[in-house]
Structure 1
Amino acid sequence: MKRFSTGPSAAPHTEVSPSIWLLRAGAVMLAMIIFLIDWLSSLDVAIAVLYVTVILMCADVFSRKSVMAVSIGCGVLTLAAFLLSHGAEWMVPPFARCLVSLCAIAITAFLAMKHMASRDALQAQIHLLHRSEAFLAGAQRLSLTGSIGLKMPSARMYWSDEARRIFQFDESLQPTLEYMMSRTHPDDIDDLKSLIEQAYARHANMEAEFRLLMPDGSCKSVRMLAQQVEDGSGGCEYIGALMDVTATKEAEEALHRSQSQLAHVTRVTTLGEMAASIAHEVNQPLSAVTTNAEAGLRWLNREVPNLDEVRSAIERIKSEAHRASEVIRRIRTLSRKTDPQHVLLDLHDVLHEAADLVRREVSRHRVSLVLQAADEPVWVRGDRVQLQQVIINLLINAVQAMSGMHGRARTLSVSLGNSEDGDATLCLRDNGPGISAQNLPNLFNPFFTTKPEGMGMGLSICRSIIDAHGGRIWAESELGHGASLNFSLPLCEPVAS
């Protein structure tokens, strides 16, 4: 941007340059010369009009008060020269020339004062403009946000210093779209090309996020926002902001890793609490395998072996072994630390697998578990392990909430279906003591728990998982009449093969 220099009156100076002193001395000497010529000369002309030159010279080297004083002094010198030359004789031509000179001096003084006022106002605005530029540059450096401009259809670009710093362009280099694309990461070059196509198509607003590949091999993540502005000639120009969001992206990835690690720890902790139930789930098919093997041997040891019974025993052994391997597979899946993989799932299968893992825990607390689900598959897109973790946490919380209840049957009803707004909804309703209205709003907050030994992270992790799946989770309760924990997920139609 073009810089403007400030004049002498823009700010007070403690030192005056020699040129200013020369101009001031020259103005004083010129005034004295004009006075002597006006006094001593016999020319029939308005010599005092030359005082206009003195006033104009003073307008560049004196303040407004000083210029006013000089103007008054010039008028006094004009009158003094007239009186010294003509005395008390008020001759019409000389007096008329004197009046002309006085009018010229007054008009010049008025115009000079007006010019100085306009100059000072302009200099004040220039000073404010420079200050605003400094503030803007400082704010851009602090916020890692640069400003850019794109003139269409010539594709001429304007860049702020911070935008150049983000792209690491030299000050002598005039950035162009080609230079931008040369800095863009190869995997994101299509996103930038799409943004450029939108600019040529004159879209009102544009937004894109892409990565930059720096000469030293490092990567930056930037976000670009631009808005269309029409100039006076009917052309199109985009004014936008370029933000360096590398630190934000790294923080989001670190948060995601921390959430994944915390969810994994919670799953392992839950499996540890369910150790007895898991051992029972594994022991049941193993005991059945032993029983069926012994039965098969007895049928073989008879005088006439009953091969049909032996075959049936072997089939039962195979079924129970498969059942045991499925239990172990589910436990290994829940305990394995892997990145979430969103695939097409039938929520029925996820619900039944989770219910099988906690069925022993449900029985131990003498709770009657009722599953109510529609016959058709409920297709959602998500991570099977994470959704199982949510359902297991909700089931165990409901079971533990009813553990202190006596005198009536403990019932946990789980219903799966479609809501009115077209989402898949899972509702777990118990007939326990319920949740107080004071605790209900904080139920899904981190570290909030009503259990003496609880950590307050289970429901918080459930909310994070459901939010990451594009759904929502909520609780409803009336104290003394049980509680209902619900979550909904967007439905997803399976792709026909």
Structure 2
Amino acid sequence: MKPLRLLKPAAGIDGAAASRRSRAVAGLAFILAATVFWVDAFTTIESAIAVLYVIVLLLSAEALTTRGIWLTTAACLLLTLSAYVIGHGLAYDLPALLRLAVSLAALFITRALIFRNDMFRTELLASNAALSDSERRYRSIFEESRVALWERDYSAVRTLLMRLKSSGIVHLKQHMTRHPEVIQDCINLIRTVAANEAARTLFGDLTADLGELPMRRYLTPDDATFIDLLAAIFEEHAHFEGKGHLITSDGQKRLVLISMSFPEDRSAFNRIIVGMVDITAREMTQKALLEAQAELTRASRAATVGALSASLAHELNQPLAALVLNAQTMLRWINRETPDLEAVRRSAERMIRDSQRASDIIHNTRSMLSHELRAPEPVNLPDLIAETKALMEHDLNREGVTFEAHCAQAADTVDAVRIELQQVLINLITNGIQAMSSTDIADRRLLVSTQRRDDGFISICVRDFGPGIGEDVMPKLFAPFFTTKPTGMGMGLSICRSTMEARGGELLARNHQDGGAVFDMLIPTQEAARG
């Protein structure tokens, strides 16, 4: 045990004064010890004079450390034994031995009591310090909270309500309907103990004495929340929450959310914390929102037509552009001095393929409008990616983009609607090409890979080497009509995500750690789709 001073100097006494007092007490204890020793050893008084060493210990306790008390106790024991030997020698003297035993026992008991008193005092000081610290933290939280907090005394209200309950009243609300004066009595019995800065801001000037602030100043006459609060106290609930109207000091009507907890110790109702949050603006916004919803319903019909038109225009743009390109290519091959019929045939085949793809897009859109989903079919992903690359060949060559595909053998086939997957993939590849075309980078590559995941999905990953997705853009990336392109419609990614989710899949976006954007098309595996 490390040395500590057993008794602290009194408040207000400086260090020098405390030091002088300690030296004086130590000197007095020394004089008393010497006197007791002389009387006990050199006089013929037949009594337990050594018991007076207890006073020496008690005096020393005020000035000495724990180690000092042990040394003082040992010194007193030594003096007691020395005085006995000097006065009685080693001869057997039962009365003297009994007096010696009483003196020694008194010394040991006093030392134990001193240490026990010090332990209790230390615990008391620690408890008081913890209590003071807790009170400071509570006050800091109370005062600095941005929630309006009141500390109110509901003890008199609870006493009144419990008296009504003990008189046989079961339904408090019915009783208050017949006796409205009870409500006023309860309002008058509530006393405000404290209010934080947020409460003062909410309710206005509270310069009056808090204990004199009547609740009726803030309650609206037609508000039922206060009655619900009284019923919660009457029924001995653990807490209460409700919305009520209150009147500020300048006469404004505020809608607030009220929350309060009731203590298990019913005698603690004199310090109830009442929390209030002003939700006036929120309720007004909600009301305006409800009014706007009706208008939105009417506008959504027109918006649906517009969105469908934008969607079709976006989806058909690629196959129609390919048709025009292949038709122009065909004309060039025909107009040559010696027409290349084989090249003309290939262009015609590509035109048929693109026409069929445009037809599939229209058919798929019609199916969605009529809630008739096309049946999934086995789709070979390497073939799909290779076909999509061929469709995008012109755009890739024009922008100088290298296309790389890496297909895992375990992720080569899925059950899906082929045209839907292809349209999503074309969209993502087109976005990647456009992202890289807007930046001055040498490494223009598009990486398309597939893999089987452990969560029941097969992933088609499309990565570009462009600038990536900005943090401000990421939350709105899939929102309809949101675009970062000057001539974009903002429908592509929204349609892509809806298409994937309609089939139980997902479309995710992220930035690659080495640069560029990554889009993951997650398609349920054949086992997951069938299960």
Q: 1:20 to 1:172 in 2, by over 3 A?
A: farther
User: How many Å separate the matches in 2 of 1:447 and 1:10?
Assistant: 77
Residue 288 (structure 1) aligns with: none
Aligned AA for 1:194? D
User: How many Å separate the matches in 2 of 1:444 and 1:39?
Assistant: 102
Match of 2:199 among 159, 166, 172: 166
Q: Does 1:193 align with 2:198?
A: no
Deviation by residue 1:121-142 (Cα, 9 ceiling, x = unmatched): 2222221222222222222333
Match of 1:96 among 95, 98, 122: 98
Question: SS of 2:159's equivalent?
Answer: coil
User: How many Å separate the matches in 2 of 1:221 and 1:16?
Assistant: 62
Deviation by residue 1:47-105 (Cα, 9 ceiling, x = unmatched): 11122233234444443222222222221222233233334545332233122201110
- 5 Å-filtered alignment, 1:352-371, equals none
Please identify, of 160-169 and 220-229, the stretch whose mean Cα deviation from structure 2 is larger.
Answer: 160-169
User: How many Å separate the matches in 1 of 2:140 and 2:241?
Assistant: 24
Deviation at 1:196, TM superposition (A): 2.1
Deviation at 1:403, TM superposition (A): 0.5
Does the CA contact (< 8 Å) of 2:53 and 2:76 recur in 1? Answer: yes
Does the CA contact (< 8 Å) of 1:433 and 1:479 recur in 2? Answer: no
Residue 203 (structure 1) aligns with: 237
Residue 67 (structure 2) aligns with: 65
User: How many Å separate the matches in 2 of 1:105 and 1:171?
Assistant: 62
Match of 2:158 among 153, 167, 170: 153
Task: Give percent identity, aligned residues only.
Answer: 23
Deviation at 1:385, TM superposition (A): 1.6
Does the CA contact (< 8 Å) of 1:34 and 1:51 recur in 2? Answer: yes
- 5 Å-filtered alignment, 1:273-352, equals 339-340=288-289, 342=291
Residue 310 (structure 2) aligns with: 400
Residue 15 (structure 1) aligns with: 15
Residue 84 (structure 1) aligns with: 86
Uncovered stretches (5+) of structure 1, i.e. residues with no partner: 1-5, 261-338, 343-381, 417-429, 461-473, 484-497
User: How many Å separate the matches in 1 of 2:235 and 2:28?
Assistant: 64
User: How many Å separate the matches in 2 of 1:199 and 1:138?
Assistant: 28
Q: 1:240 to 1:69 in 2, by over 3 A?
A: same
User: How many Å separate the matches in 1 of 2:272 and 2:65?
Assistant: 44
Does the CA contact (< 8 Å) of 1:225 and 1:242 recur in 2? Answer: yes
Residue 477 (structure 1) aligns with: 499
Aligned AA for 2:294? R
Residue 371 (structure 1) aligns with: none
User: How many Å separate the matches in 1 of 2:209 and 2:50?
Assistant: 56
Aligned AA for 1:15? G
Question: SS of 2:8's equivalent?
Answer: coil
User: How many Å separate the matches in 1 of 2:69 and 2:209?
Assistant: 45
Aligned AA for 1:33? T
Q: 1:214 to 1:452 in 2, by over 3 A?
A: same
User: How many Å separate the matches in 2 of 1:15 and 1:444?
Assistant: 73
Aligned AA for 2:274? L
Question: SS of 2:313's equivalent?
Answer: coil
Please identify, of 48-57 and 102-111, the stretch whose mean Cα deviation from structure 2 is larger.
Answer: 48-57
User: How many Å separate the matches in 2 of 1:480 and 1:181?
Assistant: 57
Does the CA contact (< 8 Å) of 2:190 and 2:214 recur in 1? Answer: no
Does the CA contact (< 8 Å) of 1:39 and 1:82 recur in 2? Answer: yes
Residue 243 (structure 1) aligns with: 275
User: How many Å separate the matches in 2 of 1:170 and 1:59?
Assistant: 52
User: How many Å separate the matches in 1 of 2:490 and 2:192?
Assistant: 50
Question: SS of 1:186's equivalent?
Answer: coil
Match of 1:385 among 283, 287, 295: 295
Please identify, of 15-24 and 109-118, the stretch whose mean Cα deviation from structure 2 is larger.
Answer: 15-24
Residue 146 (structure 2) aligns with: 144
Aligned AA for 1:91? D
Deviation at 1:191, TM superposition (A): 1.9
Deviation at 1:241, TM superposition (A): 4.3
Aligned AA for 2:81? L
Aligned AA for 2:35? I
Deviation at 1:106, TM superposition (A): 0.9
Does the CA contact (< 8 Å) of 1:448 and 1:456 recur in 2? Answer: yes
Q: Tell me the TM-score normalised to structure 1 length.
A: 0.50
Residue 435 (structure 2) aligns with: none
User: How many Å separate the matches in 2 of 1:249 and 1:133?
Assistant: 33
Q: 1:194 to 1:93 in 2, by over 3 A?
A: same
Question: SS of 1:38's equivalent?
Answer: helix
Does the CA contact (< 8 Å) of 1:181 and 1:189 recur in 2? Answer: no
Deviation at 1:223, TM superposition (A): 4.0
Question: SS of 1:226's equivalent?
Answer: strand
Residue 42 (structure 1) aligns with: 44
Question: SS of 2:224's equivalent?
Answer: helix
Q: 1:139 to 1:78 in 2, by over 3 A?
A: same
Aligned AA for 1:166? A
Deviation at 1:44, TM superposition (A): 0.9
How many residue pairs are counted as aligned between the two chains?
322
User: How many Å separate the matches in 2 of 1:219 and 1:28?
Assistant: 78
Q: 1:195 to 1:451 in 2, by over 3 A?
A: farther
User: How many Å separate the matches in 2 of 1:36 and 1:68?
Assistant: 22
User: How many Å separate the matches in 1 of 2:490 and 2:67?
Assistant: 76
Does the CA contact (< 8 Å) of 2:37 and 2:50 recur in 1? Answer: yes
Does the CA contact (< 8 Å) of 2:242 and 2:258 recur in 1? Answer: yes
Deviation at 1:169, TM superposition (A): 6.5
Aligned AA for 1:186? T
Aligned AA for 2:216? S
Q: 1:7 to 1:75 in 2, by over 3 A?
A: closer
Q: Tell me the TM-score normalised to structure 2 length.
A: 0.47
Q: Please tell me the root mean square deviation across aligned C-alpha atoms, in Å.
A: 5.1
Deviation by residue 1:329-362 (Cα, 9 ceiling, x = unmatched): xxxxxxxxxx5554xxxxxxxxxxxxxxxxxxxx
Does the CA contact (< 8 Å) of 1:449 and 1:456 recur in 2? Answer: yes
- 5 Å-filtered alignment, 1:439-450, equals 448-449=482-483
Deviation by residue 1:411-436 (Cα, 9 ceiling, x = unmatched): 566579xxxxxxxxxxxxx9994687
Aligned AA for 1:245? V
Question: SS of 1:477's equivalent?
Answer: helix
User: How many Å separate the matches in 2 of 1:8 and 1:403?
Assistant: 88
Aligned AA for 1:191? T
Please identify, of 47-56 and 218-227, the stretch whose mean Cα deviation from structure 2 is larger.
Answer: 218-227
Uncovered stretches (5+) of structure 2, i.e. residues with no partner: 1-5, 161-188, 321-357, 372-418, 429-459, 463-473, 506-531
User: How many Å separate the matches in 2 of 1:197 and 1:480?
Assistant: 50
Please identify, of 122-131 and 17-26, the stretch whose mean Cα deviation from structure 2 is larger.
Answer: 17-26
